Chains A and B, each alone.
Chain A
Amino acid sequence: MPACSVSPGGPTLTRRRLLVAVSGAALGATMLGCSADGAPDPSPPPTPTPTQTPDPDARRRAATVQSAVRLTAVYEATIAAHPGLESLLAPLLADHRAHTAAVAPAPTPAATEPGTQRPNEPGSPSLAPTTSRTARSATPGATTPSVPGDPTAARIELGDLESRASDAARGDAVTSVDPELARLLAAVAASRAVHAALLDPAQLPGTA
């Protein structure tokens, strides 16, 4: 099995094809990482509640939550190191916390009855974090992220991280078994891509 196999349980899709599709979609996409920090696929996803039907999207949820938690940590460290960036970064940090809450594995698997987890009603997808669950099981190595001393460099580094995380969420949106999870992960990918654009001073001169 290749290090970056994409779709256990999802539509058949080779990594090569994913890469082609990503580069075709452009929009500042860089490359499709296996996870937000560019590491190879992590070891097997955290085991959900025992005795329940396994969620076929467990790996996708875990990967997306893991990258959101990682981004949250980097944003917090960057704001601490560069308070001048707080007004720019705070709303984006809030987005990542919201992503974590929305994507975190549900207490009961959504695989068999997705409708009970996220009603498929046009206009009112259920996104409210209805429980106070956290995603500790998906937290990667809890080291404090290092932040560049120069604020502009720190901003650029965050933008790169957002781009890679966006690409990873795109890939997971495409291969999700649950169509409503696919919709949600597409939104996460889009939000991260917008962040990358906002963090790039050249791309959005008016908002710097």
Chain B
Amino acid sequence: MRHSDGPTTTPTVTSSLDPAAMTALQQLLAGEHAVVWAYGALGPRLDEAGEELARSLLVAHQRNREAVRAQVIGAGGQPVVAEPAYALPITPTDPNAAARLAGLVEERLAAVYADLVASATDVDLRWQGVAGVVQSAVRAALWGLTGTTFPGLRSRPYAQPSRL
């Protein structure tokens, strides 16, 4: 995990958050960085309807990224910064592949939110996490992703930098 001021690995400022909750918030911020990057990469490959959806979701993720960044700062942390690039699990060569990629990144973001749910130490963070799991799962479904028995309870992709 990279920080804006160098290789500091733990927030050292007087954090008002439990360390596990801060880690989950930072992972959420890292996840939003990756999702924003992914939408930028896959957007141009979509068909017209998909492109419209991708545009609106890109804006939503950009806003959320800024909100989470402000949250991290507000809690005394040093917000993680985006990686220069991310390895895509699916190459968006055509509209179908691009839509699958979009569904996949939303699904994986649900898992990051689920970690926030489990590590949240106050009700507001819990709400944020639960709403995020629900929202990400529905967005994944908007992209046609199926098989959603337990959204958010799969892999934890954003633990490693430079990977989606």
Contacts and interface: CB of A to CB of B under 8 A. Distances in A.
The prevalent SS among residues of A at the interface is helix
Contact of A190 (B123, B137, B156): B137
Contact of A127 (B118, B141, B150): B150
B150 A98 contact: yes
A180 B118 contact: yes
Interface string B111-140: 001110111101100110111011111101
Interface string A167-208: 000100111000110111111111101100110000010110
B144 interface: yes
Contacts, number: 117
The prevalent SS among residues of B at the interface is helix
Contacts of B131: 21, 24-25, 27, 170
Contacts of A180: 118
B133 A197 contact: no
Interface of B: 110, 113-115, 117-120, 122-123, 126-127, 129-131, 133-138, 140-142, 144, 146-156, 159
21 contacts: A11-B126, A21-B127, A91-B146, A127-B153, A182-B118, A182-B126, A183-B153, A185-B130, A186-B114, A186-B130, A187-B133, A188-B150, A189-B134, A190-B137, A190-B148, A190-B152, A191-B150, A194-B151, A197-B138, A197-B142, A207-B144
Top 3 A-B pairs, shortest CB-CB distance: A190-B137, A190-B151, A25-B131
A173 B137 CA distance: 16
A56 B147 CA distance: 31
B148 A95 contact: yes
B150 A94 contact: no
A189 to B, nearest CB: 6
A187 B141 contact: no
Contacts of A147: none
A191 B114 contact: no
Contacts of B138: 27-28, 190, 193-194, 197
Interface residues of A, number: 43
Interface string A13-42: 100000001001101100000000000000
Contacts of B154: 123
Nearest to A10: B123
B132 to A, nearest CB: 9
Contacts of B134: 25, 27, 166, 170, 186, 189-190, 193
B133 A186 contact: yes
A47 interface: no
A120 B141 contact: no
A191 B156 CA distance: 18
- Among B129, B136, B148, max chain A CB count under 10 A is at B148
B94 to A, nearest CB: 16
A12 B126 CA distance: 12
Contact of A183 (B140, B142, B152): B152
B89 to A, nearest CB: 15
A7 B126 CA distance: 14
Contact of A182 (B117, B144, B146): B117
Nearest to A7: B123
A158 B151 CA distance: 20
